[in-house]
Structure 1
């Protein structure tokens, strides 16, 4: 079943076989260097931002194994365990640095929900792993994941500016710049792929920034495209396992659309438009909360 899916994807994208990958290394390095520069200028060291590189390291291991053909990357179980452990470390530091965390804002709702203790930490870890995995799954077409994430980072920067969260504003602007710079080479036809080194870090950082703003629920809204991509994989695998039938021609959903005859550029632009609409809705909901 898994081998059939991979061969089908390889057939769809056989013309991309020679495209270099791991462009995400430059994105991770830009975050490291600019975080260090921020410390030199302001005297404030953004530990949480630096720890986001751990998601990139996880992705690098996956990419390296694939490139060296040692095996077909890390397994789903290994990736899940790795992302969970990294997220536990990140959330622990986030709670230590910002002890007021525990308030969860909801779009269009004036009052926040107070969630304390281990329940809050466990929920945040789940959301980060979900976000990181979802963006990773979305990264299957030229410019798709980067286009979606660029829009999301832009709106996170606006939220951070309005909430006077300079650390998140800095991180969102840095990542927006990194996404746009990489997108220049990753747009169709892609000259380089960012690989898991980039996509895992993008999804993880988006979740961490929104959690820092006490807006974790916004992850589901702003990354609706990526989350649906992940859900399409779960639906497909569940249907094949229990009913021995396919719901989609191939999962994730963007590959299903390809099999239906959609052009790659049309899929990418459509998903970006949906993301933009979701982010505008999130902004309207944010306005009510404020």
Structure 2
């Protein structure tokens, strides 16, 4: 049962790193305003360090115990390091949107250069098809889409880690229910443990924000697991909330604009309720769509609970649909 020790050690490293990050950022005054709360509290800005340390610790223990080989370990860690650096630079200098898109391809490089992918995705009613020339290009797109899509859905306390958590959790169940043993699923389980341990500090009411550093790392875990486990269809279906959020945002602002350049899609009233913006120039987002159904607005707790439920149902339904379509 050394795999259980690995997961416990990974969770401990993540929690300890999160606690340390909160303490250090408070001492250094690295605080951000939680704009969706009436009192506008200031909390630590960047939980990316805790996520990074948790993932590297977990994958290192998997390598040491023989659950992953050196090539996969290098691909995982180098991709995570790349997303960490890109996110951290973005936190420091606020990269332009075009650079975020371009640099998203960098996180895919270790996976492609080391060849730790199988260019045979599963298609319903067809089975596994070989697309050797196209698959690397699709992976490149997947890495930048998920890295930036994760950043865009990171709007309220816990929305991003909960989205990533449920997406990976039901992927893990899918593998166990179809063909895989627990040992072969340990990389995926390790990601789940890190995200779960970190979520304690980011769910409502958040004790620390993810920052672009954390958002990029969380986002890149999805294409990493897609490449490793060949669950392309499941992950695409489970990610529909993220795709809806990104598509409507880009369509409504007619391009990849900096968030500082567009109007806010929602506003908070004096009672702390979040309302959909009535401004036709404000971007359409998943949060704006959800709050638009309530005339009196939603408290932040009600809003994030609704979003958490949407993410869970999206992943659960995707699991059932993929199995019903004959995934093996």
Question: What RMSD, in angstroms, separates the aligned Cα atoms of the two structures?
Answer: 2.9
- Larger helix percent: 1
Q: Is 1:267 the counterpart of 2:295 in the alignment?
A: no
Q: 1:50 aligns with which of 77, 81, 84?
A: 77
Q: Which residue of 1 aligns with 2:120?
A: 103
Q: Flag the 1:23–1:168 CA change in 2: closer, same or farther, 3 A.
A: farther
Q: Which residue of 1 aligns with 2:314?
A: 278
Counterpart Cα distance in 2 of 1:255 and 1:10: 18
Q: Flag the 1:10–1:202 CA change in 2: closer, same or farther, 3 A.
A: closer
Counterpart Cα distance in 2 of 1:47 and 1:165: 23
Q: Flag the 1:17–1:129 CA change in 2: closer, same or farther, 3 A.
A: farther
Q: Is 1:131 the counterpart of 2:146 in the alignment?
A: yes
Q: Which residue of 1 aligns with 2:245?
A: 229
Counterpart Cα distance in 2 of 1:165 and 1:211: 18
Q: Flag the 1:168–1:200 CA change in 2: closer, same or farther, 3 A.
A: farther
Give the total of aligned pairs.
Answer: 266
Structure 2: which 5+ residue stretches go unaligned? 1-32, 258-277
Q: Flag the 1:137–1:183 CA change in 2: closer, same or farther, 3 A.
A: same
**Higher normalized contact order (CA 8 Å, seq sep 6+, divided by chain length):** 1
- Larger strand percent: 2
Q: Which residue of 2 aligns with 1:87?
A: 108
| TM superposition shift of 1:285 | 3.2
| TM superposition shift of 1:215 | 2.3
| TM superposition shift of 1:221 | 0.8
Q: Flag the 1:110–1:271 CA change in 2: closer, same or farther, 3 A.
A: farther
Q: 2:159 aligns with which of 125, 144, 153?
A: 144
| TM superposition shift of 1:151 | 0.7
Counterpart Cα distance in 1 of 2:216 and 2:256: 27
Q: Is the 8 A contact 2:250 2:256 kept in 1?
A: no
Query: Deviation digits for residues 137-172 of structure 1, max 9, x if unmatched?
Result: 111100111111111111122234444377872222
Give the TM-score of the pair, scaled to structure 1. Answer: 0.80
Counterpart Cα distance in 2 of 1:164 and 1:80: 34
Q: 1:196 aligns with which of 212, 222, 227?
A: 212
Q: Which residue of 1 aligns with 2:327?
A: 289
Q: Is the 8 A contact 1:156 1:210 kept in 2?
A: no
